[in-house]
Structure 1
């Protein structure tokens, strides 16, 4: 008997699960549509603190020029002692340079904010390029004295190709969906990305001991600094907000191996932070934040039911089911990515690629959960040994292949011009 197509979708557990997942998404999407950036005349002086480790010299120079163009109070570069190339780049600009021989990003951040002189401190990655009004925009939410930290909107800079396009789609989904909803419902953004996050300096000084001495199940934490800082600010009773009119651009990996290593590290950090947060009372004072943490963890598993169903359809030669699944993924994901597709209409043809990468990321997240106690930067020559952050073999040998988070820089002739996107 030939059944109508909707029986294959709604009459199966996969179809029911799809409706549930759509419902959980709408809980985020509706408030996300209502989000608005803060608009006022509030302004505070701002210091920029940048840990620098084996950054591409051209990217670093471009980034420094963009920060200085924002007329900030000071730019403080905390440069690893092994990185003489970046020290030479910094010497060309009116910036403060601190040289450190202590491995690891956290100590560099702490040295920087201790040296800062202003009420607001922006913690910025060394490959992050600012629009010309970021300093003005990020100060506006701080008119509310409860706000302890403010995040920005980020896009891909400096590379082209499939991975760059997919990463840009993921970023827009984050800033037009999860972060927008969290900002509206409770002003509690779960992670102010380390590419550019602005904090009240007095809070950074207050939480620095907890930040520097973080452990998870008895192991010293190495990465996850942005997630940890955001959590500590919320834990102290302050709020966090995403100011989407403050736009920055960062480089991202264009090689699969680097991409996977980056995502594995991020996933471990997220599991550790969210599991710890959900076990403490403070997070339940932000019910929507707790909801998104739980939903993100659950989706790591439910996402994989899609490829399992497609595999079953192909093995059994159920072409109708296979076709329905493909159509459903194309239409449903395009709907969820509508803000991005409005900005870059050609991304509609990358939607199924986005779906496949989502499955790969789900596998990475499950792998991260299984290996959650492992502390490794994966792209920096540092590691935790006997409870201490130490340099590992090869440190200092790869100048120009920086990564705080990622990044191989191969093709700077294909730099994407900076331009205003819709807020």
Structure 2
């Protein structure tokens, strides 16, 4: 294959990817902006649900605020210490909550599994120890349940405290919101965030009590991450819908340092890549439908395509702008030289046109992200690039180390 054929291939692949990207950005933006949350008659109340709050190394004062918000929901609550008791047992006692503790630290899965033995209600809710529920969160989430819905998650918002990382994290979350809102139309999202989600007990209890969940392994190695992704996938494979209620906005702080934020992104990326392959070949994507599959493939392959096309574009630019290439073309004959100039010009125009269209669709996608922001839009956009760059690097890092899921990395 000579250089011209290689460039032609690069342009074709790049143009096709640009067209697919344009479709992705426009469709997701349209669906997100026109999304309207459906609410049903409240058939269920606080007495139909048990809230489980696992805890490990959480700031005691913040954890007290979390439990105060949980208490306001009026539901039965179980607090589980992951190999720890004090001071969390005392805080739970102040709120009159049941407190359990695993004998030693075994990860969030072991904590959830222990608490599930005590759940007798129709629904169970998992709330992270750093997530604050708004008033009536349980009531509003329960209103999204119909006979075909197996799990409902809340919308996650980052507490903006003036730090760059808080704005960067919020930008990433609002970008995810565009995609997940679009997927919500079809009744299946990729993940119900572990921060706050409700499930039908009959669907998840047997699964959580099984070794497949609490002794979860990736390629034979014990994994402590990805419980929320695994539960979401289980709900879909069981024939139920997994949706989000965007009227319920829960709050959580961002990571404190750049290194911990990066480690968090790597942890999510490793788990995400594993479930990318598992969803594709394990039946979840097929069960969820064509749109779910399209979103899954594009979201995970985007960083790889972007990196590959960026490198080939650099090569294309450097080679075709080198004088020796034109001297070589002219040395053959004048017709060959003109053909070379015309071909290169056509290829450049094609790439420019598709890139321009793709750029316009990106602006539309950016407008959809802006539509999801409640405040500090300028700062969130300005610092959002930091979050995207870190996420891009972490995604590639996670791909080449996806089997290393034995550590939480940020605790």
TM-score range with shorter-chain normalisation? Answer: 0.7 to 0.9
Q: Which structure carries more helix by proportion?
A: 2
Map 1:407-418; keep pairs closer than 5 Å.
none
Deviation of 1:38 (Å): 2.2
Within 1, Cα distance between the matches of 2:234 and 2:17?
35
**Any idea what SS the aligned residue of 1:115 has?**
coil
Deviation of 1:184 (Å): 0.5
Q: 1:120 aligns with which of 111, 123, 131?
A: 123
* 5+ long unaligned stretches in structure 2: 1-10, 322-355
1:263 alignment counterpart: 265
Within 2, Cα distance between the matches of 1:314 and 1:163?
35
Within 1, Cα distance between the matches of 2:381 and 2:55?
35
Within 2, Cα distance between the matches of 1:374 and 1:329?
35
Q: Deviations along 1:244-296, whole A, 9 cap, x unmatched?
A: 11110012113110001000000000111120110123421322111111111
Q: Deviations along 1:292-317, whole A, 9 cap, x unmatched?
A: 1111111122343687699899999x
Within 2, Cα distance between the matches of 1:243 and 1:134?
10
Within 1, Cα distance between the matches of 2:283 and 2:295?
16
Scaled by the length of structure 1, what TM-score is found?
A: 0.77
Within 1, Cα distance between the matches of 2:28 and 2:256?
30
Q: Deviations along 1:92-122, whole A, 9 cap, x unmatched?
A: 2121111222421101011222212321111
* 5+ long unaligned stretches in structure 1: 1-10, 319-326, 381-402, 404-423
Sort the Cα spacing of 1:83 and 1:338 in 2 relative to 1 into closer, same or farther, 3 A: farther
Task: Give yes or no for contact 1:49–1:109 (8 Å, CA) kept in 2.
Answer: yes
Task: Give yes or no for contact 1:334–1:341 (8 Å, CA) kept in 2.
Answer: no
Within 1, Cα distance between the matches of 2:316 and 2:88?
54
Sort the Cα spacing of 1:197 and 1:265 in 2 relative to 1 into closer, same or farther, 3 A: same
Based on CA coordinates, which of the two structures has the bigger radius of gyration? 2
Q: Deviations along 1:304-332, whole A, 9 cap, x unmatched?
A: 3687699899999x9xxxxxxxx999976
Task: Give yes or no for contact 1:51–1:109 (8 Å, CA) kept in 2.
Answer: yes
Task: Give yes or no for contact 2:25–2:362 (8 Å, CA) kept in 1.
Answer: no
Within 2, Cα distance between the matches of 1:202 and 1:348?
45
Check if 1:140 corresponds to 2:143.
yes
Within 1, Cα distance between the matches of 2:231 and 2:396?
24
Aligned residues: 362
**Any idea what SS the aligned residue of 2:101 has?**
strand
Deviation of 1:82 (Å): 3.1
2:7 alignment counterpart: none
Q: 1:48 aligns with which of 38, 51, 57?
A: 51
Within 2, Cα distance between the matches of 1:220 and 1:137?
36
1:351 alignment counterpart: 381
Within 1, Cα distance between the matches of 2:316 and 2:254?
35
2:279 alignment counterpart: 277
